Amino acid sequence: MGEETWHEARLIPTSGINGAEEQERRATSALLAVLAAVREFGRSLLKPLGAPAGTIQTYIEVPFQLSDKRLYPDGLIRVSRGSKTWTALVEVKTGSNALTTEQLENYLEIARDQGFDAVLSISNEIPAAAGQHPTKIDKRKLKKVALHHLAWTEILAEAVMQKEFRGVADPEQSWILGELIRYLEHSRSGALEFDDMGESWTSVRDAVATGTLRASDKGIPTVVARFDALLRFASLRLGRQLGTEVVPVLTRRELADPSLRAQALTEMLCQSGRLVGAIRIPDSVGHLNVTADLRASTLTCHVDLDAPREGRATTRVNWLIRQLKNAPESARVECFTTHSRGASSAELLRTVRETPASLITDPSRDIRTFRVATTSGLGTKRQRGRGTFIESVLGGTDAFYAEILQGLKAWSASPPKLRPDTAEARSEEPVRPASLSSTDFSSQDGSTEPTEVVDQEILSSGGTFDSPG
């Protein structure tokens, strides 16, 4: 038997996982062990939760007594630095298992009684925005104990960024972190990617198509929340590939009150059948805007970027075309001018490449902004796979960034040119008789020298200079 059929030994094997309980226990133990072993990874994951920089100790299935019940949280994390300690209980779910309110509230009570700092939940549930929790909890239980949540996708993204981009100082610790990544990426680990739009998806989608959707329909909140979760998953996945923090764009008001975002999406879905959002990618020229039109079954991605502030209109259009060399010909380019509402013109990229002037409707108006957009088909199925809504959004955003957004750069004005040095200019100045020099060398002397021209005209006519006074 050849070596190509041999299976390499793994630190965290996926073989032997029998049932959800074993899957959950193994994922918990693997994650907590690596948190303690790989200093950089443990710090990057726990710092946002309020843990200090220090020695990390981890335990699994620690028993606690709550009234007449004996409870076993999945794990416990303790970070020590000098006399200061930070302790958190951990509750873990894998696969499609969801967190429960009763279990989390019990652990919050235990943490309060024990003087612990936080409760951390981990599952495949992805909240619409970072900092939110997918489970409804009595806020009175959060007065003394913080409640945090991490999705497995978020943990995997953090692990990849730490190993591949930020780096791990110790080679053996780097290998250990790589083994955790391999484990979490395996289908049997229970750390699933976003794969379902929810049970209400089909009914809401059909109601949009027939124009019968109402804001009071029960399924809308679930669909709206799942769409925002999908955008966050797309951001995490893209950030994992780029090695940077990619996040959905939310206003300050929406971050403070998530219901505002849900209300806006609900209203838009009922009126126009669309779901919209945006993704912020560091150092890109603009946000990656996403519009899913359920009525037209199309997905549109676009970016807005400022046009150059100098040059003719055709020069500004050519500036954009040069940056779209990898963009598909079917991409749409829109032009926005000053003192006008909406786009003043729009053409397919193939047309603009052949005739840049096709975007210019009024040469007297300055081009203020360009918009580059792509439109593709939108799947309708709720679960992940070929021809599904999820794959359409993920594929569309990835393609738009790869083909268009990553190749665009913001315009910047050219720096002012330095005038010739005075000493250098003087050395190049032709020697003239002292009697003919009416003035000393000046910064105003350049390529056009009116004084010298006058001098030559007078000399050619045989005239003489009059002395002042």
pLDDT recorded at residue 423: 54
Tens of pLDDT, residue by residue over 180-239, are 999 999 988 999 888 899 899 999 999 999 999 999 999 999 999 999 999 999 999 999
pLDDT recorded at residue 21: 87
pLDDT recorded at residue 412: 85
- Return the SS3 of 9: coil
Q: Phi and psi (nearest 5°) for 302?
A: -150, 160
Query: 369 with 355: CB under 8 angstroms?
Result: no
Mean pLDDT, residues 460-466: 43
pLDDT recorded at residue 427: 58
Tens of pLDDT, residue by residue over 303-358, are 999 999 888 889 999 999 999 999 999 999 999 988 777 778 899 999 999 999 99
pLDDT at 441 exceeding the cut of 60: no
Q: Phi and psi (nearest 5°) for 401?
A: -65, -45
Beta bridge partners of 463: none
- What is the dihedral sign for C-alpha 95, 100, 105, 106? negative
Tens of pLDDT, residue by residue over 272-287, are 999 999 999 999 999 9
For the chain, the first-to-last Cα distance in angstroms comes to 112
Tens of pLDDT, residue by residue over 343-401, are 788 999 999 999 999 988 888 888 899 999 999 999 999 888 888 999 999 999 999 99
pLDDT recorded at residue 425: 54
pLDDT at 467 exceeding the cut of 70: no
Task: Write the DSSP symbol of residue 158.
Answer: H
Residue with tokens 């994390």: 77
For residue 108, give both structure tokens. Answer: 């919050």
pLDDT recorded at residue 275: 96
pLDDT recorded at residue 41: 96
pLDDT at 64 exceeding the cut of 60: yes
pLDDT at 426 exceeding the cut of 60: no
pLDDT at 36 exceeding the cut of 60: yes
User: What is the chain's percent helix, strand, coil content, to nearest 5?
Assistant: 40, 20, 40
How far is 301 from 299, CA to CA, in rounded Å?
7
Mean pLDDT of the chain: 87
How far is 390 from 241, CA to CA, in rounded Å?
18
For residue 78, give both structure tokens. Answer: 């303790």
How far is 24 from 17, CA to CA, in rounded Å?
9
Burial of 26 (0-12, 13-18, 19+ CB in 10 A): buried
Least confident of 244-248, 390-394, 396-400, 433-437: 433-437
Tell me how far the alpha carbon of residue 75 is from its chain's centroid.
31
How far is 148 from 28, CA to CA, in rounded Å?
16
CA dihedral of 341, 342, 348, 354, whole degrees rounded to 10: 20
Backbone torsion region of residue 210, taken as left when φ is above 0, otherwise alpha when ψ lies between -120 and 50, otherwise beta: alpha
Q: How confident is the model at residue 461 (pLDDT cuts 50, 70, 90)?
A: very low
